[in-house]
């Protein structure tokens, strides 16, 4: 099996292949990712039989986690589009914030939603809103998608009760309450930067939201648009249910903080993202005055059809990530960067290197936390505040960068109708910018806290 810098060179070659094959050769991302997964495994020295198993397990494991969420989310999006609910939501949001603050409103919404909800689930839930707001505000779908995705991504890595920050706090011995409060302080300017990146950079890539249903067609069919309450319900109810599920398991299922027994089990059940989104799909049928079997069958079938490509590409991305996870990349990265003695910067670089190579922000957070935990005194991060800022530096690194081995990258790409080359420029570079801004702000904030304390 390849080791060290040869392994790093193979990773760079695989990423270059994905970019060239999708952007220049116009090979479909599904086939490109599978070829990259098999090729990386075989060239990396993995046994061919094991390579085949890694690819299939990675594909199935990713879809096992996110598959029903994607399917249910596209059904909700189709229902909201066909019923006019998406139009009502877009008009309500733009009426409240004003069109001049569209990207800021979406980024802030994403930041709030992602505190209790995984960022990929949150993006799927809000993708219908995303498309409707792009249409009503005359913005590119790339602009609103990057703003929303950036907001979701930020609190996902910084603010408990998202599992990554909670686990890192536990491993490093940082008080969860302080991590939560400080993570919120870190998140605010980063979310603002995500909105500005969307305005200034992502807006250069024009993507038509291409709505299939007009207000006139909906009013001719049903007599009126749905009420704001009915329109928001399919989005809000799953988010609330997932949030309640997070409360039920905080900080762990074995030692819940707020609820126990049958109530805890019930909240964990309805708060599972798959269950919550299925409930949201059924709630969506109330957006029209009269329910018909034919209507629901057609809308559900269209949603499932729309989800097919998204599922395929997301699963293939998981397969590629599975292969990378089986190679000794994290050992190499840990040995190369773990003892640099650069304090928070070293923690950030280590987490960023693992995120870039392994794809998963959560895996990057957990792995980095395990590596740096015994090194905190040597890194100058001993004590309560040192551990808190180490958790946040790990979060900043775990944003940097999102690309082809990250399932979130493909969810954003496919739900936003982005070409892969566009996604690298509009989203991957955004995550680089957000990561750098985050670690700079974290270092500054640490100095402020130390000076005040």
Look at residue 63 in the predicted model and tell me its pLDDT.
84
212 in any annotated domain: no
Maximum distance among all Cα pairs of the chain, rounded to whole angstroms: 70
Predicted TM-score (pTM) of this structure: 0.72
Q: Which of 175, 180, 146 is nearest to 162 (CA)?
A: 180
Q: Report in angstroms the alpha-carbon separations of 383 from 194, 377, 390.
A: 32, 8, 11
244 in any annotated domain: yes
Look at residue 294 in the predicted model and tell me its pLDDT.
66
Mean pLDDT, each 10-residue run in order, the chain (453 residues): 80 80 79 90 93 92 80 82 77 79 89 78 81 86 95 90 77 82 92 95 90 64 80 85 75 53 86 88 85 77 82 81 78 58 81 83 79 76 89 94 88 91 94 96 91 78
Count of structural domains, the chain: 1
214 in any annotated domain: no
Q: Which of 133, 126, 124, 141 is nearest to 102 (CA)?
A: 133
Look at residue 253 in the predicted model and tell me its pLDDT.
45
Q: Domain span at residue 236?
A: 4-206+219-452
Say whether the peptide bond before residue 281 is cis (omega within 30 degrees of 0). no
- 206 phi-psi bin (left φ>0, alpha ψ -120 to 50, beta other): beta
Sign of the dihedral defined by the CA atoms of residues 167, 365, 349, 2, in that order:
positive
Say whether the peptide bond before residue 401 is cis (omega within 30 degrees of 0). yes
Whole-angstrom Cα distance, residue 213 to residue 337? 53
Look at residue 103 in the predicted model and tell me its pLDDT.
92
256 in any annotated domain: yes
Look at residue 241 in the predicted model and tell me its pLDDT.
87
Whole-angstrom Cα distance, residue 392 to residue 397? 9
Whole-angstrom Cα distance, residue 135 to residue 18? 31
Look at residue 94 in the predicted model and tell me its pLDDT.
75
Which two three-digit tokens encode residue 252?
Answer: 């762990």
Look at residue 247 in the predicted model and tell me its pLDDT.
72
Rounded (10°) CA dihedral 291, 294, 295, 300 = 120
Look at residue 453 in the predicted model and tell me its pLDDT.
67
Look at residue 115 in the predicted model and tell me its pLDDT.
76
């Amino acid at each position: 099996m390849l080791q060290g810098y040869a392994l790093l060179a193979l990773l760079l070659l695989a990423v270059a292949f994905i970019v060239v094959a999708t952007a220049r050769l116009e090979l479909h991302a599904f086939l490109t990712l599978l070829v990259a997964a098999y090729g990386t495994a075989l060239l990396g020295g993995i046994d061919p039989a094991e390579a085949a198993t890694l690819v299939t397990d990675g594909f199935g494991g990713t879809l096992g986690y996110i598959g029903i969420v994607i399917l249910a989310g596209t059904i909700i999006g189709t229902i909201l589009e066909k019923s006019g609910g998406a139009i009502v939501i877009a008009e309500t949001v733009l009426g409240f914030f004003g069109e001049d603050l569209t990207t800021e409103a979406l980024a802030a919404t994403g930041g709030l939603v992602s505190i209790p909800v995984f960022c990929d689930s949150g993006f799927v839930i809000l993708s219908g809103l995303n498309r409707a707001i792009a249409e009503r505000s005359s913005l590119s779908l790339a602009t609103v998608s990057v703003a929303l995705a950036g907001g979701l991504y930020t609190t996902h890595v910084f603010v408990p009760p998202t599992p990554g920050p909670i686990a890192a706090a536990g491993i490093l011995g940082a008080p969860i309450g302080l991590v939560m409060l400080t993570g919120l302080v870190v998140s605010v300017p980063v979310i603002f930067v995500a909105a500005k990146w969307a305005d200034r950079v992502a807006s250069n890539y024009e993507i038509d939201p291409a709505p299939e249903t007009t207000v006139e067609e909906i009013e001719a069919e049903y007599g009126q648009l749905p009420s704001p309450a009915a329109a928001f319900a399919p989005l809000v109810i799953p988010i609330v249910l997932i949030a309640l599920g997070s409360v039920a398991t905080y900080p762990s299922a074995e030692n819940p903080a707020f609820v126990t027994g049958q109530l805890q089990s019930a909240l964990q059940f309805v708060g599972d993202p798959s269950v919550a989104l299925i409930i949201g799909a059924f709630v969506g049928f109330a957006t029209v005055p009269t329910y018909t079997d034919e209507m629901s069958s057609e809308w559900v079938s269209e949603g499932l059809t729309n989800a097919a490509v998204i599922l395929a590409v997301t699963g293939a991305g998981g397969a590629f990530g599975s292969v990378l996870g089986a190679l000794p990349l994290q050992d190499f990265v840990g040995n190369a960067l773990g003892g640099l003695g650069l304090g928070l910067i070293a923690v950030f670089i280590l987490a960023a290197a693992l995120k870039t190579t392994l794809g998963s922000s959560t895996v990057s957070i957990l792995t980095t936390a395990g590596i740096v935990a015994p090194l905190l005194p040597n890194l100058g991060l001993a004590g309560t505040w040192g551990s808190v800022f180490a958790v946040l530096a790990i979060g900043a690194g775990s944003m940097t960068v999102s690309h082809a081995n990250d399932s979130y990258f493909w969810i954003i790409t496919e739900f936003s109708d982005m070409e892969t080359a566009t996604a690298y420029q509009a989203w991957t570079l955004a995550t680089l910018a957000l990561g750098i801004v985050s670690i700079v702000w974290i270092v500054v904030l640490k100095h402020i806290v130390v000076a005040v304390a």
